[in-house]
Amino acid sequence: MSAALHQIAVIFIGIAAGFLCRRLGVLTEQGTGTLSNLVVKLILPLYLFSAILNTSVDVAAGGVLTALLYSALLFLFSGLVAWLFVILTRPKAGDRGVYLFELMCGNVTYIGIPVCTAVLGPSAAFYASLLNIPYNLICFSLGVYLLAGRLPWRKIFNPAFLAALAAAILYMLRVPVPPLLLDGCAFIGQATSPCAMLIIGSVLGGVPLGKLFNEWRALPYVALRLGAIAALVMLLLRFTQADPVLSGVLVLMAAMPAATNSTMLCTIYGGNRELSAKLIFLSTALSAVTIPLWAACF
């Protein structure tokens, strides 16, 4: 599947650029934190707002609510798998939250949306964008708690979640939004992926090369993140009446590599961002093999 491989290759170019910028001193520790803050609070929210409303797909309000329900169930199921993984592998206290987060939340935005669109068509882009609503709720509430060990409840209503929720409501109510506003949001939101990759590369650039591959739990993690969870989701969906496109989106999203948001959240709220960056690097690299295999199923 050339579309997926192309997207992954582009992502690695972004990570490599961030790595070089950190090693050359162009992107400093302070700059990495500032860039993370900018993405989480401005660029990503505008991206989600435009992605949901900039669509020609016509889905009834009931279909939107059904997609949100199935998406929430996907993350809850992934969370159960993550909990069992932590019990069996027993990572140290400071690493448990990272593994829980990265197994519960995959890269459903930067890789997930383009891959679902390429494999399943334009309607998949809409469902994939909707899936980001429960994703962002979990990411900025439970996710912050898992990564940093605290739960600031006011962060639940963060810009990214509010933007996605507002867009979904406007879509269901058929409220017209000026094209100029959507184009402006999309224009700024296009910076989401490159900025996220620069941040990951910068974090990796601050890690000694010998420590990038010293975590044995990363191997069973990758097996679950890229394969087992998606296989279980596909099996469970056979017993439902879910829309075929929605089912395909859920399976593909369950097979995405580690969520890149975790490194930004660790930078802002605290947490083991080095482990986060390692899991992102390894799972994204191996997804170049697994994503085309999953795509072939559809």
pLDDT at 3: 60
On whether residue 298 sits in a domain, the answer given is: no
Q: What's the pLDDT band for 109 if we cut at 50, 70, 90?
A: confident
State residue 225's pLDDT score. Answer: 95
Q: Is the pLDDT of residue 1 over 60?
A: no
d(CA 70, CA 242) in angstroms, rounded, equals 9
| pLDDT (average), residues 51-76 | 77
CATH number of the domain at 267, please.
1.20.1530.20
285 or 223: which leads in pLDDT: 223
Note the pLDDT of residue 297: 82
| For the chain, percent of residues with pLDDT exceeding 70 | 91
Top-confidence range, 125-129, 155-159, 212-216: 125-129
Number of domains in the chain: 1
Asked if residue 57 has pLDDT above 70, the reply is no
Domain that holds residue 213: 2-292
Separation of alpha carbons 124 and 189, rounded Å: 19
Asked if the model's pLDDT at residue 153 lies above 70, the reply is no
* Confidence (pLDDT) at 150: 63
Contacts of 60 (CB under 8 A, 6+ apart): none
